[in-house]
Structure formats: C-alpha cells, structure tokens
Amino acid sequence: MNRTALLRWVGVHALGVAAALFFLLPFVFVLLTSLMSDQQALTRDLTPDTWEFGNYAKVFDTPGFLTWWKNSLLYAGLGTLLTVLSSIPVAYALARFRFRGRRLSLMLVVSMMMLPPQVVIIPMYLFWVKQLDLGGTLWPLIIPMAFGDAFSIFLLRQFLLTIPDEYLDAARVDGCGELRTLLKVVLPMAKPGIAAVALFQFFYCWNDYFGPQIYASENPAAWTLSYGLESFKGAHHTDWNLTMAATVLVMAPVIVLFFFAQKAFVEGVTLTGVKG
Amino acid sequence: MTAYTLRAKRRRSALRTAAFLSPWLIGFAVFFAYPLVSTVYFSFMKYDGFGAPTWNSTANWRYVLGSYTMFWPALRNTLWLVLVMVTCRVAFGLGVGLLITKIRTGAGVFRTLFYLPYLAPPVAATLAFVFLLNPGTGPVNSALEGMGLTAPGWFTEPGWSKPALTMLAVWGVGDLMVIFMAALLDVPKEQYEAAELDGANSWQRFRFVTLPNISPIVLFAVVTGVIQTMQYYTQPIVASKVASGIIGGSGQQFEPGYPEKSTLTLPQVVYNLGFQRFDYGSACVVALVLFALAMACTALLMRRSGGLVGAGER
C-alpha cells in the first residue's frame, strides 16, 4: 500500500467509525438507561452504578404487557400468513398472464401501495365498528390481509419476473396446469422473494401504531406492543429506566429476526428500489 | 382450430385469470374503491356516527379550509418536512451508501450497524429519541452543555421539534443506504477507468460518472420520500404525546401537534377530526386532500421513473 492509499484507507474507515457511532450510540444509551436504578434514571449519568436487571422483570410484571406481546404475535403472525397466501396467486397472474386490463391492474396496485391508510379510514371504521361491531379487537386489521396486500403483490411480482420463462415452459410441456406450475415450479424458486415479503409484512404489523390506535384503543386487552408501549411513559411518569427497558423489549424481536434472515431482507429492500 | 374451441379457450383463460386475481379484486372493491367513493360522499355530509348522515353541502369544505385551525399548519409542516427531512435523508443515505462501497475492512459489520436503526419499530425509536433529546436528563443535551453550548428543548420547543424528527428520520436511513449501495455497485467500472484516464479527480468522477448513472434511483428515493412524508404519522404523534406528558390509552383529550402544532401532519388532522371530534364529514375532506396529494406524487413516480409498473416488462 502506498502513502496516498493508506491515508485514504484511514480517512474512509475513520468516517465509517464516526457513522457507526451515530447509528449505534442511541441503542447503547437506551440499553444503559434501561439498567439504571429508579433514582439514577433521574440523573444525567450515562452508565448505571448498579446494574438493575430486575427492571426487565418489572416490565413483564406490568399489567397487560404479556397480553400485548401475544396480540402483537397474533396480528403479525396471522397477518403475515394471510398476506402471503393471498398475494402469491395475484402476483403470479400479474407477472405471467396476458390479459386485458393488466397494465391498469398494475397501476391500481401501485396506487393502493402509495395510499395513506388515513384516506379511507372513516368509511372503514364505520364498516368494521358500526356495522360489524368489531371495535376493540384487531380483526379489522387482520381480515383485510386475506385479500392481498398491494406492496406484497408488487414485490412478489417483481421477483417472479426474474424467474426465466424456460422453467415455466418446461412445466407446461410436461402437462402442468397453471396452478400446478405455480405450486411445483414457481413457489420453490420464489422462496427468497416470499421470505422477503413475509418479513416486510411481519415488521409492518409489528410496528403498526395507527391501526391498533383506531380499532383497539378502547380495549387495553387488545393492544399490541407498539401501541401499548407509549402508555409506559404515562404509567411510569419519569421512570425512563422502565420505559427504556420496555423499548428494548419491543425492539429486540425485530432485530433478532433480522439477524436470522438478513439476506432475504436486504435483497427485498434492494428489489423495491433497483427494479424501479 | 375451430372458432368455437378458440372462444372456449379464451373464456377458460379469462376465468383462470379472474380466479388468480380474485383475492385482490375483492380487496380492491371492498377496501379501496368502496371506501374511496364513500369518503367523497361523507365529505358533503354532516355525521357524528349517531343517527343518519344529513346533507351539509360544502360546509365541511369551507370549515376545513377556513376556520379550522389545524389544517394549514399541517400542510405547512408537510412542506417543511418535504424540503428538509426528505433532502437530508436522501443526501445522508447517498453519503452512507458511498461510504460503505469504499470501506474495505469489516464492510459487513459496518453495513449491518448502519442498517440496524431502520429496523427499530417506529414507536420504540421515537420513544428512544424523546429520551435521548429530553432537555432535563438527556445525554445529547448533557454533551451540548458540556461543550458550553445552549441546548435546545427539541421535542418541547416549536422551532426544534421538526429538526428533532428529522434526526430520527436520518438515523433510520438504512433502507436508502441499501438501495443506493446496489445502484452504486451497478455503475460500469469502465466509465470510472475512462474518466481516470482523462484526468478526472474524485469529485469530477462523482459528478460526471456516478451521479448521471444513479440519478433514476435518486429520483425514486426523493419521490418515495415525499410519499412517505404524506403518510408521516406515528413518529410525530408519539413524540408529541410522550414529550407533552399527556398519555392515556385512548388519549381522546390530547391535542395533536405539540408543541404548538409544530408536529402536525395531515394524517393526524384526519385523526383529530374523525376520532377526537367525531366530525366524520370534515375528516373526509382532509382525507381527500391527502388522497389528491399522494396520487399526484404516485403519478409523478410512475411517469418519471418510467418503470415502476413497466419494470421487467417484456
């Protein structure tokens, strides 16, 4: 390595470390504060004098916390399953079939994808709560996922387009119908795409705040973690330590899941942008 | 093949298409088309959820655009966020994306660290930032005051609440980083070599080789950023609730936009009108404004990036 190259290496990596600190320090401070005693959490100290791992036990003891966990898992798990099942055939049709109105359908999918949920919330609320009496539950959020999700359809379609036609033609020559082709040939090849869509949808549900706020706010037994979390600061007033412990517990599952499925996830993010 | 069998075949293929599309066709009708039409209808109605909706002519429209005090501040905030927050996110995302393509040692670790904040659930991330930036005991203000600077009140000060939200948004820039990184790695190597032979310095290489190559992705990032800003809801409402100290499960008494409407966005206005004031008609007016803005951006995205829909079309 010559002198300039060495200097450049140092410069680039110094910048990298600085950026890493910016991205990492908030996590570190949150974690450290979550382990402070009640008294110390009221001070400006950065590191705990005594490490109060009991704070996490206190969070779990908070009435409702375990129920919110269960609700988040139900919403995210069932929501993801329904979304994937209902979006696959739609994405397949949009990627492979030739039919009139295909371009229009695609444009509508993209429009729905970009639509803020608040645009249609009043009629939807009246429909689910006034007509079907499902207020105070998460069903108004879960049921629609059985009818395809625009973003998932779009992403899956982009992925299915990358599967070479030859495989499908071969299946057809072997006498497979479209459904058999989809199940036996396309799905196994589309696993990374399906994994990405499932992850995105899981995170969407896990993170959703607006939905539970609209439909479940009146009934704490139906709250999710993302919705219940903000009430921590209210219930514990200035106890930043417990609030931060709860924050860590909401972040943790998502980050653990990410480490298990990093490749699929990053591939999915890339797919949304680069194909555009 | 006879005309009869041809027609039968066409019909079969149309049925097959409809069958595959059916989940979405139902979803489109029930969760998009119907509520959209219904929103237009309610925007001309007086309705509080009890009794029957009554014709209200253009009163809701005049109220929202006239005497209602939250609509215009929300629109102004949205413009601020589009100009500052979106710009910062794209610039920073591009910068970090460039940086990561230059890093030789430990690139994987750096990439993961840079990406991680994007995954933090919005409510949790917002809560973390309200803590980090709280004027009393927050580490950021401790550091600023330690350096002898006057520290702002961040989420509690009208002039600083949007910059605080911008910092939160910039922290979660991992999605853009990944997209830019992929685009940067796609730039043909020969072009750099040619530029180098011509004696271009590193800025010129960036300006005349990198930028033209990645400009479609920059445009994509800007337009999707604008669309996300239209939907910006969770972070500002959680930040204002937590920072103001008014939190209740149902939170009906809470006035969005704390401090002094500085964090109001259009989706919060829909929430305020519909679910705090039970004025469904006026809420639908704001919803339609939001719809028009979001669709205008989407149209721009489809036309300019040419591709979102056409991508991979053969």
User: Binning pLDDT at 50, 70 and 90, where does residue B5 land?
Assistant: confident
Exposed, middle or buried by CB within 10 Å (0-12, 13-18, 19+), for B58? exposed
Identify the closest residue of chain A to B246 by CA–CA distance: A234
| Tokens at B138, concatenated | 């927050």
Q: Determine the 3-state secondary structure of B7 from DSSP.
A: helix
**A49 and A147 housed in the same domain:** no
Domain chopping of chain B, boundaries: 31-67+265-305, 79-236
pLDDT score of B250: 47
**A114 and A240 housed in the same domain:** yes
**A69 and A172 housed in the same domain:** yes
**A119 and A37 housed in the same domain:** no
Decide if A234 and B99 are in contact by the 8 Å CB cutoff.
Answer: no
Last residue of a domain, one of A21, A40, A56: A56
Has residue A192 got a pLDDT over 80? yes
**A205 and A268 housed in the same domain:** yes
Print the domain residue range for A46: 3-56
Q: Determine the 3-state secondary structure of B33 from DSSP.
A: helix
Has residue A265 got a pLDDT over 90? no
**A7 and A46 housed in the same domain:** yes
Has residue B142 got a pLDDT over 60? yes
What are the φ and ψ backbone dihedral angles of B46, each rounded to 5 degrees? -100, 120
Q: What value of ipTM does the predicted structure carry? A: 0.90
Per CB-CB distance under 8 Å, the chain A contacts of B294 are 114-116, 119
Query: In CATH, what number is assigned to the domain containing residue A177?
Result: 1.10.3720.10
How many domains would you assign to chain A?
2
* Architecture in CATH for domain B79-236: Orthogonal Bundle (1.10)
Per CB-CB distance under 8 Å, the chain A contacts of B139 are 29, 44, 46
Has residue B312 got a pLDDT over 50? no
Q: Specify whether the CB–CB gap between B177 and B96 falls below 8 A.
A: yes
Decide if A147 and B121 are in contact by the 8 Å CB cutoff.
Answer: no
Residue with token string 């993010």:
A269
Among B115, B127, B309, whose Cβ lies nearest the Cβ of A229?
Answer: B127
Q: Please, which residues 184-243 of chain A have a Cβ atom closer than 8 Å to chain B?
A: 203, 206-207, 209-210, 213-214, 217-218, 220, 223, 225-227, 229-234, 240, 243
Residue with token string 């009163």:
B59
Q: Is the dihedral of CA B191, B194, B196, B200 positive or negative?
A: negative
**A29 and A96 housed in the same domain:** no
User: Binning pLDDT at 50, 70 and 90, where does residue A269 land?
Assistant: low
| Tokens at B298, concatenated | 């989407």
Taking Cα atoms as reference points, which of A198, A93, A104 lies closest to residue A151? A198
Q: At what angle do helices B107-119 and B87-102 cross, to 10 degrees?
A: 160
Q: Specify whether the CB–CB gap between B60 and B285 falls below 8 A.
A: yes
Decide if A111 and B290 are in contact by the 8 Å CB cutoff.
Answer: no
| Tokens at A207, concatenated | 């993170």
| Tokens at A242, concatenated | 């417990």
Query: What is the β-pairing status of strands B54-55 and B45-46?
Result: antiparallel
Taking Cα atoms as reference points, which of A227, A248, A236 lies closest to residue A29? A248
Give one DSSP letter per residue of chain A, joined into a string: --HHHHHHHHHHHHHHHHHHHHHHHHHHHHHHHHTS-TTGGGS--SS-SS--THHHHHHHHSTTHHHHHHHHHHHHHHHHHHHHHHHHHHHHHHHH---TTHHHHHHHHHHHHH--GGGGHHHHHIIIIIIS--TTSSHHHHGGGGG--HHHHHHHHHHHHTS-HHHHHHHHHTT--HHHIIIIIIHHHTHHHHHHHHHHHHHHHHH--HHHHHHHTT-GGG--HHHHHHHHHHHTTT-HHHHHHHHHHHHHHHHHHHHHSHHHHHHHHHHHHHT-
Decide if B137 and A44 are in contact by the 8 Å CB cutoff.
Answer: yes
Amino acid residing at B164: A
pLDDT greater at residue B99 or residue A41: B99
**A150 and A243 housed in the same domain:** yes
pLDDT tens digits along A30-89: 999 999 988 888 888 888 988 989 999 999 988 889 999 999 999 999 999 999 999 999
What's the CA gap between A206 and A252, in Å, rounded?
12
What are the φ and ψ backbone dihedral angles of B45, each rounded to 5 degrees? -115, 155
Among B175, B247, B280, whose Cβ lies nearest the Cβ of A269?
Answer: B175
pLDDT score of A270: 67
Identify the closest residue of chain A to B241 by CA–CA distance: A230
Taking Cα atoms as reference points, which of B306, B295, B288 lies closest to residue B65? B288
CA distance A10 to chain B (A): 10
**A140 and A240 housed in the same domain:** yes
pLDDT tens digits along B47-96: 998 888 999 989 999 999 999 999 999 999 999 999 999 999 999 999 99
Per CB-CB distance under 8 Å, the chain B contacts of A118 are 231, 233, 266-267, 270-271, 287, 290
**A29 and A153 housed in the same domain:** no
User: How far is C-alpha B235 from the chain's CA centre?
Assistant: 11
Give one DSSP letter per residue of B218-243, joined into a string: HHHHHHHHHHHHHT--HHHHHHHHHH
What's the CA gap between A202 and A72, in Å, rounded?
10
Residue with token string 């840079």:
B114
| Tokens at A118, concatenated | 């608040």
Q: Give the predicted TM-score (pTM) of the model.
A: 0.90
| Tokens at A29, concatenated | 């401070």
Q: How many CB atoms lie within 10 A of CB A5?
A: 9
Angle at B35 between CA B235 and CA B52, to 5 degrees: 105
